Amino acid sequence: MSETKTLNLVQAVTDGLNVAMEADDDVILLGEDIGKFGGVFRATAGLHERFGEERVIDTPLNEAGIIGSAIGMALYGLRPVPEIQFSDFIYPGFDHIVNELAKYRYRSGGQFPCPVTIRTPVGGGIRGGHYHSQSPEAYFIHTPGLKVVCPSSPRDAKGLLVSSIRNDDPVLFLEPKPIYRKAIGEVPVGDFEVPLGEARVVREGSDVTLIAWGAMVPLCEEAASRAASDGIECTILDPRTLWPLDIEAIVSSVEHTGRCVIVHEAPKTCGFGSEISALVQERCFLSLEAPITRVTGYDVPFPYTLEHAYLPSVARVLDAVETAVHF
Amino acid sequence: MSAVVEQPERDLLEVLVSMDLQLASLERLLTRLSASGTIGSYPEAGFARTAMVAAALALRPDDMLFGTARDVPAALAHGVPMEEILAQALGKGGDPGRGRGMPGAITNQRHGVSLTDGNIASHTVHASGFGQAAQIRGDGRVACALLGSGALANGEIHAAFNFAAIADARTIFIVRGEVADGIELEGTGEAWGLPIDVVRGDDGQAVYAAVRAARERAVAGEGPTLIDARLPEHPEPLDWQAHQARGGWSAEHHQGVLREIEAGLREARAAVEAGEDIRAASLFEDVFEDRPWFLAPNRGHEVNS
């Protein structure tokens, strides 16, 4: 077994950036306060000193400029990794992501791939209010040409980030900031990749399949532990790569359990849970013992004071699990 | 048939006149096809052709040219073969972009050209990033972004000029076409930290000289330049007769050039139209490097051929 070290999730991100930059001079970082300051969440701490200002670039506070510049750098032949300080601020760069980054390969007939990995923290529960808490994955999954990744453990954060950067497609790398420091685990030392497009079985059980990503994974783990004490065994599947989704892993699990509960922070309507639900229905209809259920944020703007009322809770997940089992 | 002359320094005016005649012929054809519904909308360059061509001729072949679908003349001058321009406009198999863009939205990696029919100014930010990368690598390449007057009102412009200026990006921004909305550029450069060079957009030699100087500045690491090459109120067409007066070519030679251009265009069009169509199955290709399961054949994505 390879050597490991104990890291939290944000330290694992830093480690992944270090590894990718060390191995490939074309990998450069750009973003607001990511250089000398080391990033608002310290994800790039120490990289400016190590790799210099030409590879760890402090930019003006302009998200369209950051993402647009990254596209130009990728067209030149670099492998830029822009950071958007909070995903809530990604929208000024939305046109560049949806209309340019996602389409460059396609509209050029494959001549101009755009290997840009956009790192951005997502998720609520940190007293961040409307503009520091959102989970925008569905917008990007809905856009052909983008890959969307969201790790839930330090090991996956490092391995998936290195894979994303080395991938020739654009990647939205969504970092669950509520567990940046809560998620702690063993991470392989040195060069290490986790392949994109492969789900992780977090826990195995025969009664219900829970599908969750990011900060919802530890929440589901707690719910699954409590359900087990009542004799209900849950499988927890973390897709890790939200798109392209590991559909086979989901189908295999739901065919076995016959029940599927999807948990995410983003609002319910047209959230990614809707798509997963449709896919499961299309492929597992005859195996289903109960309706597919979604436990999600509500269809309201993300609130400040009532954020814990908004976010899925262990109790809401347990309720969905019990309803599915007793249907 | 490719760009008319390989060495523009030899006689720039002659090159400009020749290319203008060739492009006028091309634009007449594409406008006619567009009006008849044979192809999608084609945005003519008109008098802005002169600045577009002169700018592209002043670049090195491995420089990257960014622009809009209106900048087809610059693409031709930067080396994109006429056959590929026609294949793109006609949506035929010879288009390296595989028929994905509207007429004029040329992408050509081999010749370093990316013209868009998207947001009017997004490409200027890409040019800034490309130029920033070129400054980091220092390999002698530059990025050139052509934009219209209308783009100056777009927020992307602020991002492009701001990022390029602070990064000493090897980027040349060229505003071409008519002056729109009364937007003047003189005096604004200081705010962005960009030197501005103002030249008449109908004076190809002046545009060529300005781009050459901007290119030298960029490669020397002195940063980006904004060239205001918009047209005066009453632009003067590129006049072969002026060229003749300078001892250029005769009226007889002029007629011969015209005949050659028309014949060449007919020949190129015929070759393109006789070529392969875009394959229906290619609809699902190039979305990603590899085709994921949801784009795989037999996933409900079959199309009529």
Tell me the pLDDT tens digit for each residue of B61-119.
Answer: 999 999 999 999 999 999 999 999 999 999 999 999 999 999 999 999 999 999 999 99
Q: Which of residues 256-275 of B touch A (CB under 8 A)?
A: none
Asked if B144 and A124 count as a contact pair (C-beta separation under 8 A), the reply is no
Evaluate whether the domain defined by A4-188 bears CATH number 3.60.70.12: no
Identity of the residue in A62, A71, A111 whose CB atom sits nearest the CB atom of B96: A111
With beta carbons under 8 A apart, name residues in chain B contacting A76: 64, 129-130, 133-134, 137, 141
Mean per-residue pLDDT, A310-321: 98
- Please check whether residue A223 is in contact with residue A194, taking contact to mean a CB–CB distance below 8 angstroms: no
Q: What is residue B203's DSSP assignment?
A: -
Given a cut of 90, whether residue B190 has pLDDT beyond it is: no
Matching fold, domains A4-188 and A200-325: yes
Q: For chain B, give every domain's residue range.
A: 8-274, 280-305
Listed residue (B200, B152, B190, B202) closest to B173, CA to CA = B152
Q: A72 and chain B: CB distance < 8 Å anywhere?
A: yes
The whole-number pLDDT of residue B244 equals 74
**Every domain of chain A and the residues it spans:** 4-188, 200-325
CA angle B102, B104, B110 (to 5 degrees): 110
* A2-16, A140-154, B184-198: least confident range: B184-198
The string of pLDDT tens digits covering residues B266-295 is: 999 999 999 999 999 999 999 999 999 999
* Dihedral pair phi/psi, residue B59, rounded to 5°: -90, 165
> Does the interface predicted TM-score (ipTM) exceed 0.85?
yes
* Residue B79 backbone class (left: φ over 0; alpha: ψ -120 to 50; beta: rest): left
pLDDT value at B242 more than 80: no
Q: Determine the average pLDDT of the residues in B212-239.
A: 94
Among chain B residues, the shortest Cα distance to A171 is held by B288
Chain B positions touching A171 (Cβ under 8 A) are none
Domain A200-325 has CATH 3.30.540.10: no
Please report where in the chains the tokens 């545009």 appear, as a residue.
B207
The answer to whether the CB atoms of B128 and A65 lie below 8 A apart is: yes
From the candidate CATH numbers 3.90.1150.10, 3.30.1490.20, 3.40.50.970, 3.40.50.2300, the one assigned to the domain spanning B8-274: 3.40.50.970
∠ CA(B113), CA(B118), CA(B124), 5° rounding?
55
List strand residue ranges (DSSP E) for A25-94, in order.
27-31, 56-58, 79-83
- Alpha carbon distances (Å) from B245 to A76, A216, A223, B13, B19: 44, 78, 88, 12, 19
**Interface contact flag, B163 A59, Cβ < 8 Å:** yes
Runs of H (alpha helix) within chain A: 9-23, 47-51, 63-76, 94-95, 104-107, 137-141, 154-166, 216-229, 247-257, 272-284, 307-310, 314-325
Average pLDDT value for chain A: 97
Residues 72-91, chain B: which have Cβ within 8 Å of A?
none
Q: What is the pLDDT of residue B270?
A: 97
Q: What is the pLDDT, as a whole number, of residue B302?
A: 58
Q: Which residues of chain A from 94 to 113 reach within 8 Å of chain B, CB to CB?
A: 95-96, 99-100, 105-113
Q: Which of B116, B132, B192, B294 to mutate to test the interface with A (most CBs of A within 10 A)?
A: B132
Least Cα separation, residue B169 to chain A (angstroms) = 10
Give the span between the Cα atoms of B135 and B139, in whole angstroms.
Answer: 8
Judge whether residue A192 has pLDDT over 70. yes
